[in-house]
C-alpha cells in the first residue's frame, strides 16, 4: 500500500491522452534543453523541448534529439547540421550553452512518423527557420546545413 496524502480527484483535472499535432509549421520556443546519454551508452544527445506559442496548438510540446556525441560520424554530422539550423533560426550563431537558445521564437516544421515499437504516429521536427522568414534564403522549413548561408563560402570555392 502507498499513502496518497489525502489525494482528492475532485480537486484535480484529469490528464488527457494527447494525440500528435497535425503536420505543419508552428511558431515555437525552446523551453528546456538537456544533454543525456544514449541508450547504448556510447554517446550523448541534446534533448530540446519546443513549446508552440501561437495558434490552435498553443502550449503543446514537441521534442528534438540531436546526437552530438556518437560513434557514427554521419549521425554527428546530421545533428550538428540540425543544431546549425536552430542557431540560424534564433540568431545565436555561437552559443556556449544550450540555454542561450531558449525563449527565442522560431518556426518549426513538424511532421509525423510511424513508431517502430507500436506502429502509432509521433511528431518529428523536420526543419527550423526564422520566425516570419525563410531561414536566410532557403526553402521555408528546410534544414540549413552547417557552413551554408549568407556570408559563407560556396562548397565549390572552398580549398
Complete domains list, the chain, with CATH: 18-139 (2.40.50)
Q: What is the pLDDT of residues 45-63, one digit of tens each?
A: 999 999 999 999 999 999 9
What distance in Å separates the CA atoms of residue 28 and residue 9, rounded to the nearest whole number? 32
pLDDT band at 145 (very low <50, low <70, confident <90, very high): very low
Q: Which helix (H) or strand (E) holds 26?
A: strand 24-37
**Cell of residue 139, nine digits:** 526553402
- Report pTM: 0.76
Is the per-residue pLDDT at 130 higher than 70?
yes
Contact 100, 80 (CB under 8 A): no
Residue of 101, 80, 87 whose CA lies nearest to 135: 87
Residue with cell 533560426: 89
Q: DSSP per residue over 107-124, as a string?
A: EEEEEEEE-TTT--EEEE
Is the per-residue pLDDT at 24 higher than 90?
yes
Amino acid at each position: 500500500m502507498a499513502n496518497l496524502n489525502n489525494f482528492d480527484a475532485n480537486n484535480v483535472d484529469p490528464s488527457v491522452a494527447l494525440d500528435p499535432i497535425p503536420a505543419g509549421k508552428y511558431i515555437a520556443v525552446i523551453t528546456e534543453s538537456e544533454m543525456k546519454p544514449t541508450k547504448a551508452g556510447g554517446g550523448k544527445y541534446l534533448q530540446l523541448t519546443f513549446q508552440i506559442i501561437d495558434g490552435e496548438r498553443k502550449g503543446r510540446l514537441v521534442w528534438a534529439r540531436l546526437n552530438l556525441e556518437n560513434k557514427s560520424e554521419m549521425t554527428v554530422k546530421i545533428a550538428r547540421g540540425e543544431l546549425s539550423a536552430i542557431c540560424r533560426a534564433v540568431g545565436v550563431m555561437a552559443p556556449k550553452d544550450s540555454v542561450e537558445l531558449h525563449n527565442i521564437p522560431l518556426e518549426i516544421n513538424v511532421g509525423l512518423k510511424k513508431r517502430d515499437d507500436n506502429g502509432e504516429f509521433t511528431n518529428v521536427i523536420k526543419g527550423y527557420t526564422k520566425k516570419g522568414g525563410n531561414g536566410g534564403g532557403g526553402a521555408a522549413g528546410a534544414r540549413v546545413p552547417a557552413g551554408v548561408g549568407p556570408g559563407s563560402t560556396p562548397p565549390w570555392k572552398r580549398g
